[in-house]
Structure 1
Amino acid sequence: MLKFFRKIRQKLLSESKFTKYLLYAIGEIVLVVIGILIALSINNSNDLKNQRQKELTLLTEMRQNLKIDLEDLDFNIKGSFERIQANEIILKALQERVPMNDSLKPYYGNIIGNFQLSNNTAAWENLKSVGVDLVSDDSLRNAISNLYEVKYTYLENTTKGVDDGHQWNTLYPQFLDLINMDQVWVSAEPVSHEALMDNRKFQETLKMNLFIRNFMLDQYETIHQDVNSLLDQIERHLLTLKEQ
């Protein structure tokens, strides 16, 4: 009987040691898992911080690019107004058969020429290279893509496909034949102002030029508003990033 109780005692001791070992092993595993989770959390936090810093840098660069674009747009808008005014005055003078005088020379000198937006795309190209998803605000990301991929592209295609074509294929050849340029965009005088009063082709060309000039002016003014709106969005988002 004593031998039997000794066997039971040894078994219980053995089971107790196993239970303690099992609990210790489970504890070690839990600690390892917790350590891994903490390390992953720190790593993810650092990655997110690096992403936001990169986003901040790129958007700051884009803000500067867009401000330069605004200066270019201001120049194009001002120049478009001047071309429109010159074309209107010369066309009216011809239609109303106003005699040639020195006051018309500056306007003759300004009937030709168009403009093209030299938009700065450095920040946009950098953003595309790392992925536009870097911009954490959905609305801002869509606005950026829409400006660079849609609106700027449409303006460029319209300038090259429509405006340039009329300027250099239609208006400029007639200008060379019919007008003597004293100084580009300063002064010019027609070979015969009186002959232009009856030159229907030249007057129709001026009318088409006015249509295109007004259309392009509207495009520049619209994009000017779009750029200002996007700048406001970027400014607000930059403040948010700096507060994080």
Structure 2
Amino acid sequence: MIKFFRKIRQKLLSENKFSKYLIYAIGEIILVVLGILIALSINNANDAKNQRQKELTLLTEMHQNLQTDLEDLNYNIKGSAERIQANEIILKALQERVPMNDSLKPYYGNIHGNFQLSNNTAAWENLKSVGMDLVSNDSLRNAISNLYAVKYTYLKNVTKGVDDGHQWNTFYPQFLDLINVDQFWVSAEPVSHEALMDNRKFQETLKMNLFIRNFMMDQYKTIHKYINSLLDQIERHILTLNEQ
């Protein structure tokens, strides 16, 4: 097409028909501009498609990561419930001066210990490295950031700063001195059950342990609910991207 315009231009110039030449020259310019615009449009469309594919890949990976986080949270919630029950039963037995019996052994064996969330951050780290703008939905992007940068960080800080400190600096030294363990989290027996009935420090430690265990349980349940909501958002956005 461009060669055709050039031949026309040469013919018009040779015949000294400047006005017609000018029209064809303008037409040639328009043709070139249109070609550039079409090329840019195709290139932009390809870039958008590639960007959408990257977003789909990352969100699919994050969806899988969050599923494993839910499994870890379920384990922590179940374990925390067992610790709470054990602490409540032993504390009540001591306060009500219930004589030692074999039925208390599993609960003595389960009063100590805490949990940590081992969340999978692979997709989150990838997202930070490529840029948060990869997630095209503003609401979803903010929800993801809130989970990983705020909620997970807070849970980690509380676990390390409060829960671990109580378990290993306060509770465990008493547990080590006062309890004979048959098997951790299975069975244990106090050196003297009767002496613990009058051991105010040990009972106050159990009360604090119950407070922290219930607090951590609430944190696990709150994040569990948040993740389920986030998974729904991710699934809806993935459907939207696949329809584009």
**Same fold, judged at TM 0.5 (above):** yes
2:181 aligns with 181
The alignment of Structure 1 onto Structure 2 pairs a total of residues equal to 232
- 1:227 is aligned to 2:227: yes
Q: Secondary structure of the equivalent of 2:98? A: coil
Deviation at 1:14, TM superposition (A): 9.1
What residue is the counterpart of 1:25 in the other structure?
Answer: 25
Residue 21 of structure 1, CA deviation? 2.0
Q: TM-score by structure 2 length?
A: 0.93
Q: What is the CA deviation profile of residues 135-193 of structure 1, one whole-angstrom value per residue up to 9, with x for unaligned ones?
A: 11111111000000000110011000100000000000000000000000000000000
2:93 corresponding residue in structure 1:
93
User: Aligned partners of 2:92 and 2:64: how far apart in 1?
Assistant: 42
Moved more, 125-134 or 216-225: 125-134
- What per-residue deviation string (whole Å, max 9, x for no partner) do you get for residues 15-35 of structure 1? 962212222221111111111
| Structure 1 consecutive aligned stretches of length 4 or more whose deviation exceeds 4 Å | 13-16
Q: Please give the residue correspondences for 1:110-149 in structure 2 after superposition, counting only pairs within 5 Å.
A: 110-149=110-149
- Residue matched to 2:10: none
Give a deviation string over 1:189-216, Cα, whole Å, max 9, x none.
0000000000000000000000000000
For residues 109-153 of structure 1, give each alpha carbon's deviation from its aligned partner in whole angstroms, at most 9, with x where no partner exists.
000000000000001111111111111111111100000000011
Q: Pairwise mapping of residues 51-90 of structure 1 onto structure 2 (< 5 A)?
A: 51-90=51-90
- Tell me the distance in 1 between the aligned counterparts of 2:180 and 2:174: 11
* TM-score, normalised by the number of residues in structure 1: 0.93
Q: In the alignment, which residue of structure 2 is the partner of 1:109?
A: 109
CA distance in 2, matches of 1:19, 1:180: 107
* Aligned equivalents of 1:14, 1:36: Cα separation in 2: 30
Cα offset for 1:63? 0.4
Aligned residue for 1:214, secondary structure, equals helix
Structure 1: gaps of 5 or more residues: 1-12
Identity in percent:
88
Distance in 2, Cα, partners of 1:150 & 1:141:
13
- In 2, Cα distance between the equivalents of 1:130 and 1:111? 45
Aligned residue type for 1:190: P
CA displacement at 1:62 relative to structure 2: 0.5
| RMSD over equivalenced CA pairs, Å | 1.3
Give the superposition deviation at 1:73: 0.3
What SS class does the counterpart of residue 226 from structure 2 fall into?
helix
CA distance in structure 1 between the aligned counterparts of 2:76 and 2:101, rounded to whole angstroms: 29
- Alpha-carbon displacement from aligned partner over 1:55-75 (angstroms, at most 9, x marks no partner): 000000000000000000000
Code of the residue aligned with 2:71 in structure 1: it is: E
Deviations 1:6-52 (A, max 9, x none): xxxxxxx9996221222222111111111111111000000000000
Alignment-derived partner of residue 216 in structure 1: 216
Gaps of 5+ in 2: 1-12
Which 10-residue stretch deviates more, 25-34 or 179-188? Answer: 25-34
Map of 1:196 onto structure 2: 196
Give the letter for the 1:108 counterpart.
Y
- What is the rounded CA distance, in whole Å, between the counterparts of 1:190 and 1:15 in structure 2? 115
Structure showing greater Rg: 1
Q: In structure 1, how many angstroms separate the alpha carbons of the residues matched to 2:121 and 2:28?
A: 55
Letter in 2 for 1:216: M
- Separation (CA, whole Å) in 1 of partners of 2:64 and 2:195: 51
| In 1: Cα distance, 2:65 partner to 2:190 partner | 42
The one-letter amino acid paired with 2:166 is: H
Which whole-Å CA distance do the structure 1 matches of 2:36 and 2:126 have between them?
34
